[in-house]
Amino acid sequence: MTRFTVNNQPVQYAMDPATPLLWALRDASNLTGTKYGCGTGDCGACIVDIDGAAVRSCQRTIGAVEGSYVTTIEGLSRDRSHPVQTALIAKNVVQCGFCIPGIVMAAAVLLQHNRAPSEDDIRREITNLCRCGIYPRLVEAILLAASIQRGDETVDAPPAPGILPAEAARSVPALVVRR
């Protein structure tokens, strides 16, 4: 049994310790915010916070994180109120959204260690790939997030569109297909 903490909850996986953390989170814990992108650690869609470090979960086994504290996008903020999430919404960064959970987690870790990152710091630390090309707005948003986190600025961002977090787990009625 592999044991560690995920989103402040102790977990125990009865899986092969060589199982990538990504699949344990997605398949066994149903934490599907962490995305599978490339499987080689290049894209960053699967980034989670492990003991304060931005880690590509497709490249880390559950055996390697034994005893660690893991935070996924679901554990960062259920109501999207984390400064990084607020800033991305305020700066209208999100396009397709697939890469965003990994970017949010990488940015949150960056701001844990650097309360006032420069544009160069952000470009060096946020190496996630985004097919939509959000990079200029992303840098602006992370600078804003740092300012929000420090208390230098407040933002009245509209709520994110889509499903409310409280409603995300509701069952969806089956579709009726007529021929």
Number of domains in the chain: 2
Q: Are residues 105 and 123 in the same domain?
A: yes
Query: Structural domain of residue 18, as residue ranges?
Result: 2-75
Q: Looking at the domain assignment, is residue 48 inside a domain?
A: yes
- Torsions phi, psi for 8 (to 5 deg): 70, 15
Q: Are residues 54 and 98 in the same domain?
A: no
Q: Looking at the domain assignment, is residue 12 inside a domain?
A: yes
| Per-residue pLDDT tens listing for the chain (179 residues) | 899 999 999 999 999 999 999 999 999 999 999 999 999 999 999 999 999 999 999 999 999 999 999 999 999 987 788 999 999 999 999 999 999 999 999 999 999 999 999 999 999 999 999 999 999 999 999 999 999 999 999 887 666 556 665 665 554 444 444 43
Q: Are residues 12 and 39 in the same domain?
A: yes
The token duo for 163 is: 């499903």
- Torsions phi, psi for 6 (to 5 deg): -120, 120
Q: Are residues 45 and 104 in the same domain?
A: no
Residue 20 three-state SS: strand
Q: Looking at the domain assignment, is residue 102 inside a domain?
A: yes
Q: Sign of dihedral through CA atoms 132, 134, 136, 139? A: negative
Q: What is the pLDDT of residue 168?
A: 53
Q: Are residues 89 and 48 in the same domain?
A: no
Q: Are residues 70 and 87 in the same domain?
A: no
Kindly state the DSSP code that residue 13 receives in the 8-state scheme.
E
Q: Are residues 26 and 63 in the same domain?
A: yes
Residue 50 three-state SS: strand
Q: What is the pLDDT of residue 78?
A: 77
Task: Return the CA Rg of the chain.
Answer: 17
Q: What is the pLDDT of residue 80?
A: 82
Looking at 75, 109, 137, the residue that finishes a domain is 75
Q: Are residues 24 and 62 in the same domain?
A: yes
Q: What is the pLDDT of residue 176?
A: 41
Residue listed under structure tokens 């994110």? 160
Q: What is the pLDDT of residue 81?
A: 87
Q: What is the pLDDT of residue 164?
A: 64
- What CATH code is carried by the domain that includes residue 41? 3.10.20.30
Q: Are residues 69 and 6 in the same domain?
A: yes
Q: What is the pLDDT of residue 74?
A: 95
Q: What is the pLDDT of residue 171?
A: 45
Q: Sign of dihedral through CA atoms 100, 103, 108, 114? A: negative
Q: What is the pLDDT of residue 75?
A: 95
Q: Sign of dihedral through CA atoms 175, 164, 36, 95? A: positive
